[in-house]
Amino acid sequence: MNADLNTSRRAFVEKVGAVLSLATLPFSAPAGMRSNGEMSFAEYSKHDGIGLAQLVRRKEISAAALLEIAIARAEAVNSRINALAQKLYERARAQVNSGMPNGAFAGVPFLLKDLGIDLEGTPTTNASRFFEDNIVQRNSAVVDLYKKAGLVIFGKTNAPEFGMSGFAESALYGMTRNPWNLEFGPGGSSGGAAAVVAAGIVPFANATDFGGSIRVPASCCGLFGLKPTYGRTPLSPEFSSTNTIHAITRSVRDSAALLDISCVSAANTFHCAPPSPQASYLENMRQPPGKLRIALLHRPYFYDVKVHSECLKAVDNAAGLCESLGHHVEEASPPIPYDQLSEIGSVFMAEFFAPIGEREKKLGRLVRLDEVNSGNYRRIRESRKISADDYLKGQQEIRLLRQAMADFYKKYDVILSPTQATLPPPVSGEERMADGRTKTEINTALAAFTGIYNFTGQPAMSVPLFWASDGLPIGVMFAGRFGDEATLFRLASQLEESRPWFGKRAPL
């Protein structure tokens, strides 16, 4: 089956370059493009990744010139947002000078997340002092796919230590700020990725999602963030029952095209998602979504948290938009078997901290308290108490939860909810905020709606349709059937056309 799937995927992935060259440009080349192939940052920022790739393909701009614009923008703004964890400028320049592959995104500047994403010869620090000198010897499978597509990797972005927070901060790299308002954070854990896109450094950036880490930062920074179906993109060499790898983007079509080039199955991938459409996601998103049956959800599944009034306004506003587009929206919630999910968290904790144990074996000693933050040190110790029985029971509960969701989706096509239950988090070095809330409480509110879809494996996307009264972005989330990113992309494309957000820029 995997061989057939790989053959099918290769057949249309090879066509993606041709598809991109024929794509209409909603973000067309500005009239001020210079005849000598140079480009200002203002011109650069008017393009998404597909638009930039087309300019390189048509030899209107060089990959080297695009890289220098991205580097210049990073140097101009990073001192204010602190989103770059590693600068790999010379490595990227050497990559461009050695010649670019003829891939779908040849010449487009790109950044990786410094959490579980390996780039050969560089450290994967996971934003932790314990991994500070962890130089890796090979690329993650998805990085090989990015490089084959011609993406020019010139750095890595900041994240909270081990991704265990909605605050993009760590003792190793410091605190990342939100380009929309520097007094607030960009969310987590892919906060650095969202910040560099919102700041205009790159049109899209790599991100991962263990429990909302693509969708929450996309929501906080006014961007599009899709978490693919579990197993859609290769996790190798990582192992997880809940993690996914993809990106945070400005445009929907960039997200679709990036998934086209990164969803090829790897032989050593732990799990493979159901086959994707015979047409590419990029081609598929141009089709109308039809009349969708949308379940509207106002309350989180598991958490008793108060949902901020602006988040409720955002989701009701989105529901009204969907109805105006011809979709059927009604309040409904899946019948979750709460009383049978006592060990589901054991799977997440055991797998999440497994790399700590591997690092300890390599170093021949246990992690010390001065090498990780106190909360993670406690979590690491607790994870060591999880038994094989706990883990296996948790896996059984994941299957039970997935079945409950699958039954619900016999009636509905999509679930609509807030992406998060609170506004973007304030920047603070203290545990307790000025309004009396703790960071723990804010973390719970940020992930209250997102985490369930990591356990069920369903694709889900945060769409930037609403800005709060104070100017901060608030995303809304749409979750689809397991394996059905295609419906989400078609809906997202319709929403993007109805209420465009690409031109909304952070006032950095």
For 402-429, the three-class secondary structure string (H helix, E strand, C coil) is: HHHHHHHCCCCCEEEEECCCCCCCECCC
Q: Which of 140, 165, 190, 213 is catalytic?
A: 213
Q: What is the pLDDT along the chain (508 residues), one digit of tens a residue?
A: 344 434 444 443 444 444 444 344 444 444 444 444 689 999 999 999 999 999 999 999 999 999 999 999 999 999 999 999 999 999 999 999 999 899 999 999 999 999 999 999 999 999 999 999 999 999 999 999 999 999 999 999 999 999 999 999 999 999 999 999 999 999 999 999 999 999 999 999 999 999 999 999 999 999 999 999 999 999 988 889 999 999 999 999 999 999 999 997 544 455 668 887 878 999 999 999 999 999 999 999 988 899 999 999 999 999 999 999 999 999 999 999 999 999 999 999 999 999 999 999 999 999 999 999 999 999 999 999 999 999 999 999 999 999 999 999 999 999 999 999 999 999 988 888 888 899 999 999 999 999 999 999 999 999 999 999 999 999 999 999 999 999 999 999 999 999 999 999 999 8
Handedness of CA 455, 459, 465, 471 (dihedral sign): positive
CATH 3.90.1300.10 spans which residues of the chain? 2-286+491-498
How many whole angstroms separate alpha carbon 117 and alpha carbon 225? 18
Quick check: 199 and 179 in contact, CB under 8 A?
A: yes
SS (H, E, C) 151-219: CEEEEEECCCHHHCCCCCEECCCEECCECCECCECCCCCCHHHHHHHHCCCCCEEEEEECCCCCHHHHH
Helical spans, DSSP H, in 24-114: 41-44, 49-57, 63-81, 89-97
The predicted pLDDT at position 270 comes to: 54
Handedness of CA 351, 352, 354, 355 (dihedral sign): positive
The predicted pLDDT at position 431 comes to: 86
The predicted pLDDT at position 21 comes to: 41
Q: Which of 46, 113, 227, 393 is catalytic?
A: 113
Is 113 marked active-site?
yes
How many whole angstroms separate alpha carbon 30 and alpha carbon 46? 7
The predicted pLDDT at position 506 comes to: 96
Is 213 marked active-site?
yes
Q: Which of 128, 165, 170, 189 is catalytic?
A: 189
Name the CATH superfamily for 2-286+491-498.
Amidase signature (AS) domain (3.90.1300.10)
Q: What pTM does this model have?
A: 0.93
